[in-house]
Chain A
């Protein structure tokens, strides 16, 4: 019995080691299968191209690519936020995309050197408990949150990619000193730290927390499963880092030997059909003009967006983490 088990093990391991396929398009996705699985399936059916997707957190995906270097089997990288794909681009691992693809999306949602293009947008918002707060109680920018009246009331996710991207944006807009002062203000206020956006939204919806800084769409998913939830999103009316619309980004690796299929995949993500999917299924903002957002959301044009070069986010990402650490939030 033991011997049989060992033989079976060896056979299984040898067989598995021999099964590598070079024809398929390999996508490293920091966006989960629950979000984009159906899209991938549609693409496979329409194009006849086989797609193998590695799902993981955007951070893990970017870290994996950096460890793999130019030996990476990946053809395409698709991440939640501009900072992690920016890190891959900074390492020189991404080739510029064709103008035809880049031009489908407003310039401000893509890399200035065209190494990645924005696919769908998420706005930074405050999620708040509607039984405790009204929009009139909430400040015009994130700077209003460091007042003592917000002591312990605003949840943040200091180790989360979206929050760090927001801090990086704040560094670019307001400078390091002001950003550090803000972070220290949040720390002095005893702002509860959560592991990610979903935990904050759950905590607010479950009455464990008054409000929190998050991306806009988690609440909409919660409302879909539990419509009786007493929580709402508040969009900052002033264009600061707090009201940043951040795109999920996609790029093609320089080391790919499957460029044609990779470009077809990016084109598919930027098609009207995929963009409608993001609006209705993941509650994100579609980025190509003409596709409306979910009607529970303000139109993307109404969300005040600061003037910021998203490609630069990755360059200050380490500084953002330094400051968050220095403020004692990590």
Chain B
């Protein structure tokens, strides 16, 4: 088997015999069954509509609206969004991979607790993270009050960078953690046996095998950053999304916002293309049952370094937000503000998010099978559409859906059904991303065996493929659940009248400076989301042990 380093054309390691020579991922001999294409197209259809809508808006645009394309400021915004996306993605990958490796592969103390605590920032809405950093920093912030130091306010690029890194590194962490636990340790052992240092064997053997997982996580992190509005606007970092919102807010004419959205799609396509380019043709599966990897011993210095790293991640991503939120709730309660839990919003959040997660998991199966097993131009576009939708600001997607639904969908408009379909569409990329990483580790010869033993394609899918990719599917479903819990713009525009979620409650209160109420809802959101996150981390464990 040849394992390729992610950043070089040269095969980094050749290990013969440890893992059998991999057959190509796409079965050149077989075509995908027709019903799978039908399913794939039906799934992608609702995702295409907003894009079509945008292109028509832009085609009908006046010259004045198109001027925005050639404006210097637009170029500057594109640059600012790109800079932020590159920085966030790089740190998200570094933090995510390091945390996953330390937790899964070393004997760092308290591994189980860290495993659950580290990805927790994922469940905190980015605007809540931003608000809490703004409250914690600055001359009268929590940090300055407690220590008496002169603390500068954390905003602008550093602020947005930090908040979004914390929001997105869990994507990388969760995908890499799952991949590490399914990794065949034979390669690593061989490298160590041949005298490679721990660092060298990690860099040249382990890391290249993690490439699909890192790529999937990095892509999600990059596109999430591109579509984020909450953190960049609160951190006062002007970017594409803030400009798009400003155009919606300041104009009756909605074309300039559409023009900017189309530009954003182009940036997203470049990122998606880059990730697809670096994937190459490498195969990542083994024909042998996975053995448990031995954990690395750490020297005292290394142990302190590893613990210090985990403590800082959890402090920034969990402790600071929770302390700030608790302070707000407590302060409000002290002056007699009624700080209560809105059970209607709790129910709305749970119902909407669970339905979205189930739907996205079901939809991810055909998309992933088509893109991994039947690679080609058509399946490539299916996948790209899924990722582009993930990169769009939610207000853009939601307004397009409003336009279509009110005209052509009748009673479905403002129904829970439509809202759930939109949730699942926006976040489908998370489900396919996680599932794809799992799928790449499934040896196609297992499916071939089932087919040659007389099972049809549907039976094989149900009884062989789906059980094998279950860890990825569940991880993807959990990601969709957790991000739907935080979703705001699409919820505001498309929810059934009277339907409430915790994210809506937080936004509504924080926007009006009722911080105590916002904090109460945010703490409930955190607590509720931590439960599925706990099971998500557990499930990646079970799949390997």
A330 lies within 8 A of B138 (CB): no
A67 near B73: Cβ-Cβ < 8 Å: no
In whole angstroms, what is the CA distance A236 to B514 when docked? Answer: 26
Cα A213 to Cα B139 with chains together (Å): 21
What's the nearest-Cβ distance from chain A to residue B342, in Å?
10
Q: Which B residues touch A226, using CB under 8 A?
A: 331
Q: A198 to B412, Cβ gap below 8 A?
A: no
With a cutoff of 8 Å between Cβ atoms, the chain A residues found around residue B247 in the complex are: 321
Contacting A at CB under 8 A, from B242-279, are: 242-243, 245-254
- Stretch in B14-22, B195-203, B401-409, B433-441 with 4+ CB within 8 Å of A: B401-409
Judge whether A17 and B417 touch: CB under 8 Å. Answer: yes
Is the CB–CB distance between A53 and B498 below 8 Å?
Answer: yes
CB neighbours (8 Å) of B420 from chain A are: 13
**Which residues of chain A from 197 to 228 have a CB within 8 Å of any chain B CB?**
198-199, 201-203, 205-208, 218, 221-222, 224-227
Q: C-beta contact mask, B336-369 vs A, less than 8 Å → 1, else 0?
A: 0100000000000001000100110010000000
A198:B236 contact, CB within 8 angstroms: no
Contact A16 B416 (CB under 8 A): yes
Q: Is A54 positioned at the interface, with any CB of B under 8 Å from its CB?
A: yes
Q: Which residues of B contact A201 (CB under 8 A)?
A: 513
Whether B399 contacts A196 by the Cβ 8 Å rule is: no
B380 within 8 A of A: no
Q: Does B300 contact A (CB under 8 A)?
A: no
Contact B497 A321 (CB under 8 A): no
Given contacts A60-B493, A206-B140, A317-B250, contact A32 B399 (CB under 8 A): no
Within the complex, which residue of A164, A198, A207, A218 is in contact with B249, where a contact is CB–CB below 8 Å?
A164
Q: Pick the contact of B252: A18, A208, A317 (CB < 8 A).
A: A317
Indicate if B332 sits at the interface (CB-CB under 8 A). yes
In whole Å, how far is B467's beta carbon from the nearest beta carbon of chain A? 10
Stretch at the interface among A101-109, A155-163, A291-299, A304-312: A155-163
* Residue in A73, A159, A164, A314 whose Cβ sees the most chain B Cβ within 10 Å: A159
- Least CB distance from A315 to B in Å reads 9
Question: Could you give, for residues 305-332 of chain B, a 1 whenever the CB lies within 8 Å of some chain A CB and a 0 otherwise?
Answer: 0000000000000000000000000011
Contact A54 B246 (CB under 8 A): no
Pick the residue among A5, A13, A195, A206 that contacts B138 (CB under 8 A): A206
Given contacts A71-B407, A164-B250, contact A13 B417 (CB under 8 A): yes
State the Cβ distance, A299 to closest chain B Cβ, in Å.
Answer: 24
Q: A13-B420, A330-B246 are in contact. Are A64 and B512 (CB under 8 A)?
A: no
Partner of A321, one of B238, B251, B505: B251
Do A193 and B138 touch (CB < 8 A)?
A: no
Specify which of B253, B399, B414 is in contact with A73 (CB 8 Å cutoff): B414
Q: With A60-B395, A225-B516 as given contacts, are A194 and B251 in contact (CB-CB < 8 Å)?
A: no
- For chain B, the bracket of interface size reads 35 or more
The docked-state distance in angstroms from the alpha carbon of A184 to that of B253 is: 24
- Asked if A100 is an interface residue, CB under 8 A from chain B, the answer is no
User: Do residues B512 and A18 form an inter-chain contact, with CB atoms below 8 A?
Assistant: no
How far is A174 from B335 in the complex, measured between Cα atoms in Å?
44
Residue A35 interfacial (CB < 8 Å)? yes
Q: Flag if A55 contacts B508 (CB, 8 Å).
A: yes
Task: For chain A, residues 27 to 84, give those with C-beta under 8 angstroms from any C-beta of chain B.
Answer: 32-35, 52-57, 59-60, 63-64, 66-69, 71-73
A306 → chain B closest CB, angstroms: 21
B250 touches A324 (CB 8 A): yes
Pairwise interchain contact A202-B355, C-beta atoms closer than 8 A: no
Residues of B within 8 A of A160 (CB): 249
**A239 adjacent to chain B (CB < 8 Å):** no
Give every chain A residue within 8 A of B155 (Cβ-Cβ).
Answer: 208
Instruction: Specify which chain A residues have a CB less than 8 angstroms from the CB of B251 in the assembled complex.
Output: 317-318, 321
CB of A26 within 8 Å of the partner chain = yes
Which residues of the other chain, A, contact B299 by a CB distance below 8 angstroms?
A: none
What is the CA–CA distance of A206 and B248 in the complex, to the nearest angstrom?
Answer: 30
- Which one of A18, A54, A195 contacts B411 once the chains associate, using CB atoms below 8 Å? A18
A222 and B335 contact, CB distance less than 8 A: no
Name the interface size band of chain A: 35 or more
Query: Chain A contact residues: over half helix, strand or loop, or mixed?
Result: helix
With known contacts A9-B355, A161-B249, A207-B139, A17–B399 Cβ distance under 8 A: no
Asked if B252 and A66 sit within 8 Å, CB to CB, the answer is yes
Check A208/B238 contact, CB under 8 A, given A59-B248, A226-B331: no
B359 contacts which chain A residues (CB < 8 A)? 9
Report B-chain residues with C-beta under 8 Å of the C-beta of A177: none
Q: Report the bound CA distance from A194 to B332 in whole Å.
A: 25
Interchain CA distance A304-B248 in the complex, whole Å: 31
Say yes or no for A171: interface residue by CB 8 A criterion.
Answer: no
Most buried by B among A59, A205, A221: A59
Q: Is B511 in contact with A198, judged by CB distance below 8 angstroms?
A: yes
Cβ proximity bits A244-279 to B, threshold 8 Å, 1 near / 0 not: 000000000000000000000000000000000000
Q: How far is the CB of B256 from chain A (nearest CB, A)?
A: 8
If over half of B's interface residues share one DSSP class (helix, strand or loop), that class is named, otherwise mixed; here it is: helix
Contact, CB under 8 Å: B358 / A6 = yes
Q: How far is the CA of A17 from the CA of B138 in the complex (A)?
A: 49
- Pair A68/B402 contact, Cβ less than 8 Å: yes
If the complex has contacts A6-B358, A18-B411, A67-B399, are A57 and B492 also in contact, measured as CB distance less than 8 A? yes
Closest to A57 in B: B492
CB distance A68 to B517 under 8 Å? no
Specify the chain A residue showing the minimal Cβ separation from B139.
A207
The smallest beta-carbon distance between A108 and chain B, in angstroms, is 23
Q: B230's closest neighbor in chain A, by CB? A: A195
Known: A56-B492, A199-B234. A208 touches B395 (CB 8 A): no
If A56-B493, A71-B407, A208-B138 touch, whether A224 touches B335 (CB-CB below 8 Å) is: yes
A70 vs B233: C-alpha distance when bound (angstroms): 33
Which of these, B236, B238, B416, B497, contacts A26 with CB under 8 Å?
B497
Q: Which of A176-199 contact B (CB under 8 A)?
A: 192-196, 198-199
Our pick among A6, A57, A195 for the contact of B234 (Cβ within 8 Å) is A195
A112 within 8 A of B: no
Chain A residues lying within 8 Å of B254, measured Cβ to Cβ, are: 63, 66
Chain B nearest Cβ from A159, distance in angstroms: 4
* Of B155, B403, B406, most A-chain CB atoms within 10 Å: B406
Q: Say if the beta carbon of B185 comes within 8 Å of chain A.
A: no
List of B residues within 8 angstroms of A5 by Cβ: 358
Contact between A158 and B417, CB atoms less than 8 A apart: no
Asked whether, in the complex, the Cβ of B246 is within 8 Å of the Cβ of A221, the reply is no
Task: List the B side residues contacting A198 at CB < 8 Å.
Answer: 510-513
Chain B residues near A328: list those with CB within 8 A.
73
Closest 3 CB pairs of A and B: A321-B250, A16-B416, A159-B246
Please report B residues at the A interface, Cβ cutoff 8 Å. 71, 73, 134-135, 138-141, 153, 155, 233-234, 236, 238, 242-243, 245-254, 331-332, 335, 337, 351, 355, 358-359, 362, 395, 399, 402-403, 406-407, 411-417, 420, 489, 492-493, 495-498, 500, 504-505, 508-517
Q: Given contacts A206-B140, A330-B238, list 18 more A-B pairs with CB under 8 A.
A: A32-B512, A33-B505, A34-B517, A53-B498, A64-B399, A159-B246, A161-B249, A196-B511, A199-B234, A202-B134, A206-B138, A208-B134, A218-B512, A225-B337, A225-B513, A225-B514, A226-B331, A321-B250
Q: Could you list 27 A-B pairs, sorted by A, with CB under 8 Å?
A: A12-B351, A13-B416, A14-B417, A16-B415, A32-B508, A32-B512, A57-B492, A57-B511, A63-B254, A64-B399, A67-B403, A72-B406, A90-B252, A159-B245, A193-B236, A203-B153, A206-B134, A207-B140, A208-B134, A208-B153, A218-B512, A218-B513, A225-B331, A225-B515, A317-B252, A318-B251, A330-B73
